[in-house]
Amino acid sequence: MNWLSKTALILVIVGAINWLLVGVFQWDLVTALFGGETLRASSGLSRLIYTLVGLAGIYSITFLFRDTAVKVNK
């Protein structure tokens, strides 16, 4: 994986983890770091979706450590 792909994947993972925090705790990490109102009022359905996106981001961490070479068996 080249540096641009890794950088993009890391940004996606950070964003997803932020949404996980919003979904579970209604707390926005990015806003806490860079200023603004950190608590978000959300409906139950939106919190569920934010949580699922966050869990997908945590799963995506495994992509950083996978071998991307494709092996062909003949």
Contact status, residue 40 vs residue 28, Cβ threshold 8 Å: yes
Look at residue 72 and tell me whether its pLDDT is greater than 70. Answer: no
The 8-class DSSP code of residue 40 comes to: -
Bridge-partner residues for 27, per DSSP? 39
pTM of full prediction above 0.75:
yes
Residue with the bigger pLDDT between 24 and 40: it is: 24
Instruction: Tell me what percent of the residues of the chain surpass a pLDDT of 90.
Output: 55
Q: Give me the mean pLDDT over the 25-36 stretch.
A: 89
Contact status, residue 55 vs residue 24, Cβ threshold 8 Å: no
N-terminal to C-terminal alpha carbon distance within the chain: 25
Q: Give me the mean pLDDT over the 10-18 stretch.
A: 94
